Amino acid sequence: MLLEVSNVNAYYGDFQALFGVNLHAEKGEAVAVIGANGAGKSTLLNAIAGNVTTRGAIQFNGEKLAGLKPWAIVTRGVTLVPEGRRLFSSLTVEENLQMGAYARKGSDWGLAEVYELFPKLKERARQPVTELSGGEQQMVAIGRALMSNPALLMCDELSLGLAPVIVQDIYATLGRVRERGVTLIVVEQNVQQALKFADRVYCFQEGHVTLEGEARKLSAEDVSQAYFGKRGAA
């Protein structure tokens, strides 16, 4: 197992957002995390990335991640594409990508590879990132994350605010990223898209995992139940 999250509780100050979460990802898998707003999906990714106070075990490649600072986690090969993209607004497209490589170990993904994946970005390399469209900004965010050579790439709400056509494009690209050997965990509001893309799915409700299973084996009903229904119906 590449990533193992065991019995993790996460807190924002006094407020507990995750309760005893168990989750794992095998090398090369694509895992989707679905659930309503506020269910704790983003918190999970942020907990793995080191941005949130956590209790419990998070193991990556045999190494302990829980308790490490975010900048130490990214050097171990775990990178987060944050919700809302969070690009550096006073930097250009290329500079944003270069920031992704700040702590890089290894060189599978460089500017050339990212531009190959997202040709549009090459055209706009020297432009301030604030001038790009939502879809293009999402590409920059993914490209930036790739520049850190992740073994595990986590994407938080990629489709937010984007037209369906663009979302499809982006997931197609993610497919290519996956073919290059990167393991993926995707938090996705769009359940259909998540089921289409992922191998396995976790469903969250109020900070608890309510469902886990292979994407193609889950029925719409299972998902609906886990998404909206009472807790404990796993």
Partner 1 sequence: MKAFVDSILSGVLLGSLYGLFASGLSLVFGVMRLVNVAHGDFIVLAAFLALAFQHVTGIGSPFVMLTILVPLMFVLGYLLQRAVLNPALGPDILRPVLITFGLSVIVQNGLLQAFSADSQKLQGGRIETASIPLGGGLAVGTLPLLTLAVAVAVIGSMQWVLYRTRLGRALRATSDDLTTAGMMGVNTPHLFGIAAGIAMVTVAVAGVFTGVRASFDASAGPAWLIFAFEAVIIGGLGSLWGTLAGGIILGIAQAVGAYISPAWQMLAGHVVFLVALMFFPRGLFPRRSE
- Give every CB contact of residue 115 below 8 A, 6+ residues apart in sequence: 121, 122, 125
Report phi then psi at 170, rounded to 5: -65, -40
Q: Which is nearer to partner 1, 91 or 191 (CB)?
A: 91
Residue 41: CB minimum distance to partner 1, A? 17
Calpha distance 64→197 (Å, rounded) = 29
Calpha distance 213→14 (Å, rounded) = 32
Which region among 1-9, 95-103, 114-122, 190-198 touches partner 1 (by CB under 8 A)? 95-103
Determine if 51 is a binding residue for partner 1 (CB under 8 A): yes
Residue 86: CB minimum distance to partner 1, A? 4
Among 69, 126, 217, 230, binds partner 1 (CB under 8 A): 69
Q: Which is nearer to partner 1, 155 or 211 (CB)?
A: 155
Determine if 91 is a binding residue for partner 1 (CB under 8 A): yes
Which strands, in side-by-side order, build the sheet including 30-35?
A: 78-81, 152-156, 183-187, 30-35, 200-205, 208-214
Among 28, 102, 176, 231, binds partner 1 (CB under 8 A): 102
Q: Write out the residues near partner 1 by the rule CB under 8 A.
A: 49, 51, 69-71, 74-75, 79-80, 82, 86, 88-91, 95, 98-100, 102-104, 130, 144, 148
